[in-house]
């Protein structure tokens, strides 16, 4: 019973989805010099009820102590174990346009355990060009590179019309989790996970709540 993070426990996806947010808040708390925290403090920072935080964490074991709260360093370590981010992960990037290049240069990945170690594009003028510490490879090298290195994570940063076929190729090569920046939904088998980042979708989720007013735009 001391085993934590047993996938057979069938933890709801929605709970897993919150854990990275908790982890991020804990990182910050320890950066700020704190050593202990409570579900109440975390909840206040995150805008989540303290009961929910306690319940979420209790799925994986009792990490806190009554009367005291949670030892931040300890809880961070435990959450990293649950999320499997104690190890580093290699990530394949497909698409070396504006967005892909920005992702390749983004400094926020490596210090949190994700390393883009190969970049693919189908544009002949880009192939061979350096991006970050690597060289852009042609698409026909995708299978071998990803398969041989057993890369399980990929980011898609190609136009929408290519996203599905890129996803198919990645999955065939062994990728099991995709962060999709292309503005389109993709179909994948049940054992493959997808997360979507489309800024416009995120914006459209908020405009519903705003006041309509004819902002006079001098835009062509």
Site for DNA, residues 103 to 132, rule: CB under 7 A: none
Residues 125 to 154 in contact with its own copies, rule: CB under 8 A: 149-153
91 neighbors 113 (Cβ within 8 angstroms): no
- Give yes or no for residue 102 binding its own copies (CB under 8 A): yes
- Give yes or no for residue 50 binding DNA (CB under 7 A): yes
- Report, in Å, the least distance between residue 14 CB and DNA: 4
Among residues 63, 74, 89, 134, the one that binds its own copies under rule CB under 8 A: 89
Residues 5 to 44 in contact with its own copies, rule: CB under 8 A: 5, 7, 16-17, 19-21, 23-25, 28
- Give yes or no for residue 211 binding its own copies (CB under 8 A): yes
- Report, in Å, the least distance between residue 125 CB and its own copies: 19
SS3 string, the chain, reads: CCCCCCHHHCCCHHHHHHHHHHHHHHHHHHHCCCCEECHHHHHHHHCCCHHHHHHHHHCCCCCEECCCEEEHHHHHHHHHHHHCCCCCEEEEEECCCHHHHHHHHCCCCHHHCEEEEEEEECCCCCCCCEECCEEEEEHHHHHHHHHHCCCCEEEECCCHHHHHHHHHHHHHCCCCEEEECCCCCCCCCCCCEEEECCHHHHHHHHHCCCCCCCCCCCCC
Span near DNA by CB under 7 A; candidates 54-62, 113-121, 124-132, 165-173: 54-62
- Report, in Å, the least distance between residue 120 CB and DNA: 34
Span near DNA by CB under 7 A; candidates 68-76, 82-90, 191-199, 210-218: 68-76
Say how many residues touch its own copies, by CB under 8 A: 73
Residues 161 to 190 in contact with DNA, rule: CB under 7 A: none
């Amino acid at each position: 019973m001391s085993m934590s993070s047993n996938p057979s426990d069938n933890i709801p996806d929605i709970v897993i989805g919150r854990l990275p947010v908790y982890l991020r808040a804990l990182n910050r708390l320890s950066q700020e010099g704190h050593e202990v925290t409570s579900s109440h403090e975390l909840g206040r920072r995150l805008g989540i009820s303290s009961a929910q935080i306690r319940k979420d964490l209790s799925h994986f074991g009792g990490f806190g102590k009554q009367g005291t709260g949670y030892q931040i360093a300890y809880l961070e370590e435990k959450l990293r174990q649950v999320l499997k981010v104690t190890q580093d992960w290699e990530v394949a990037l497909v698409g070396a346009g504006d967005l892909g290049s920005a992702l390749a240069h983004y400094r926020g990945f490596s210090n949190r355990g994700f390393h883009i170690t190969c970049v693919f594009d189908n544009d002949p003028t880009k192939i061979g060009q350096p991006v970050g510490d690597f060289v852009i490879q042609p698409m026909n090298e995708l299978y071998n590179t990803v398969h041989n290195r057993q890369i399980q994570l990929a980011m898609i940063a190609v136009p929408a019309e290519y996203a599905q076929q890129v996803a198919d190729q990645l999955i065939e090569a062994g990728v099991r989790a995709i962060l999709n920046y292309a503005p389109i939904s993709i179909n994948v088998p049940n054992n493959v996970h997808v997360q979507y980042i489309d800024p416009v979708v995120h914006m459209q989720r908020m405009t519903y709540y705003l006041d309509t007013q004819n902002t006079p735009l001098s835009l062509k």
